[in-house]
Structure formats: structure tokens, C-alpha cells
Structure 1
Amino acid sequence: MPLKSASQALKPKTDIRQLVTSADISKQHAERSPLRYIKGYRPELIAQIQTLVDNHALADHLLKRYPQVHDVRTDKALYELAMSLKNEFMRQSDPLSKVIYDDKISLSHQALGLHTYANRRQGNKVKAKNEIRISSRLKTIPFDLLKMVVVHELAHLREKEHNKAFYQLCTFMQADYHQLEFDMRLLLIAEEVEQSPYP
């Protein structure tokens, strides 16, 4: 029976590039962590939020800032909110055909809302159809946070990417947009760790 050469004997049977490393495990934990919603913020701010979570104080923090939920519960009311913002700030943008709450939108996977755009040809004319769908879970949150989500989706009528122009448009429509977006991220964390103050 011939002996294998030293290099053949030492060759691993598994490609070591496919082995899971500690860095891979850390990355997977970070991607599953409820704090992933604020991963781009300053470390000291993330540490403060972690403390709130650990002390079961995140719900109280949110309730102090936003004690009441909105009453925009129907698709009609949501459409009217979106149209009032559009008519005030984006009169020249493409028309909206539909704005609805959608039970299929998951807060954790699809964020908060979806903006869809389609061109349809009817004879010689091309008609644009814009729809905004917002997670039904947002029926029981504070008004300012709901408005922030609507503003975000409306801004996509003009700016498809999350670029500088997009965020300038958001803050034009809602001056405290960045604070509200951060607080919405805190609500997503609260939902995930079962500390949401809004049933």
C-alpha cells in the first residue's frame, strides 16, 4: 500500500474557507440583536439604549416622549393624511393612487412601509401608479411616528434612494424627522424585546 506524500496527508478534507469563525458568529449575533436597528449610531448612545433594555425601562422612555396613540385607524384616514402632506409639500410630484395599511408588512423584515411604482400603458398614454402600504401594526402608535413613516414613503415619490436629497426632503416635510426616525427605531427594539408601551 503506497504511502501518501506529506502534503497530501496534511491536506484538510474540508475547505477551511467554509469553516465558521468567531467573527462570523459575532456578525450573526449582531444581525439578530434587537439593537441592530440603531447600529449606525454612536457607541455611547447604543450603550444607553442597551441599559434601558436591560432595566426594562424602554417602554417608560417612549411613553414619556409619546404618551398617546393616534386615531388614524382606517385606510381612508391614512390616505387623507398622506394627501394633506403631499398637497402641502409635494404638489408637483406624481399622483398617489392608494395609501393603505397592510397586514402582510412585517416590522422586523420589511421595516415600516413600502412604496410601489408602476407604469401602465393605456393606448398612447403611460400612466404612473404610485401606492404606499404601511404596516397595520402602526395603527396603534403615536401620531408623530406614523407621520414620519408617511413622510418617508412620500419622499420616495421624488427620491428613490436614501441619499442626501431624500433626507433633505424628509426634513423639509417634518423638521424633527431624524429624531422621530431614531425614536421609531427604539420602538422597533421595544417590540422585539417585548417592551412596547403601545398594544
Structure 2
Amino acid sequence: MAAQHEDSSTVSITKAVSVYPKGLSPPKLLSLSNLDRQCPVLMYLVFLYKPSSHGYQNLSVNSVFNKLKTGLEETLSVWYPAAGRLSLNPNDGKLDLWCNNGGAILVEAVAQVKISELGDLSNYNEFFENLALKPAVDKNICEMPLVVAQVTKFGCGGYSLGIGTSHSLFDGSRGLRFPVCMGFSI
């Protein structure tokens, strides 16, 4: 999470919640491919939404947060493995996917900086690191959620959605489809 200073480039976390599937699925263990076992980390995407004449800049960060929370609850019900955790299989010691309805993490944040002040958005900017939650994974990767999301409202009224998804679960197009299925369209 970002450090909290009186700096205009600071991102301040205002709320963090665990989000569970709207409809729970029976627990089960799914085998991962050998390739998916090799990279049990979160991959991050950040989507930036500049203020527009459509009026969403007048939405409170809380209303956007609640919309995302509802969308995530519904999406986790359909994409039920995304609400699980990685787990060591007790029979063979290999990393597998435990579908246990463990949920995802959703964070609300605010930043005083304007999106226009971030420069060329097609180039990496160290500030972008503050727009996606990076959960602390002490020594047990099996406790890490497979999905984390952060909605940040900017000083200009624009928003960002930073989403981290497990490489073991989401690859390529599935990693891009998940935010769409969550309903992230303001």
C-alpha cells in the first residue's frame, strides 16, 4: 500500500473488505498444470478512466466501490475458482487450486493527483504501483487471495481500477475478461 503523506502523489487507502461469492460452491481441489505451478504470483493490470462528460466524475468513490463489490460477488459465483486459494496437495505435495470460497480483496482509495498530471499513460510510471493492491504474502503463498482489486478516485474526478489476478488461474484473455465480467464500466 502507498505511504500516507501530505503529498499530492499519495494514494490513501480508505476502505478494504473481503468479498465472497454471492452463491457458494462446494469445496473441491482442482489440479493445476505443471506450467501453472511454476508461477504462483499475482499479475497486475491498471485501467485508467479520465473524467468525461458522461457524468461519472460526479459519482462518489463509495458508489463506484459498491458497484464493483456487487459485480465481484456475482463474478466470483460464476468464476468460483477465483474465490479459492492455492494449496499444496496432501497426496503428492504439488501446488493445486483449492476452491474454498475464500474470497477476494477489494480496496477503495483516493489520490489528489489528476490523471493528466501522470504524463504519457502508455509508458510505465512508478506511481502506477500505488494503484493496485499488493497483498503481503509472508511465508505462506496458500493464504494469498487469487484476486485483488483497488478502485482509486483521482483529484480530477477520474478513476482507476487496479486488479491483480493469479497467473495460475488467469492467463491471457481470461485475465482481461475478468474485469469486464465484474462489470467495471462506469
The two structures have a TM-score, normalised by structure 2, of: 0.28
Flag the structure with higher helix content.
1
Larger radius of gyration: 1
Structure with more relative contact order (C-alpha pairs < 8 Å, separation 6 or more) = 2
Is the strand fraction higher in 1 or 2?
Answer: 2
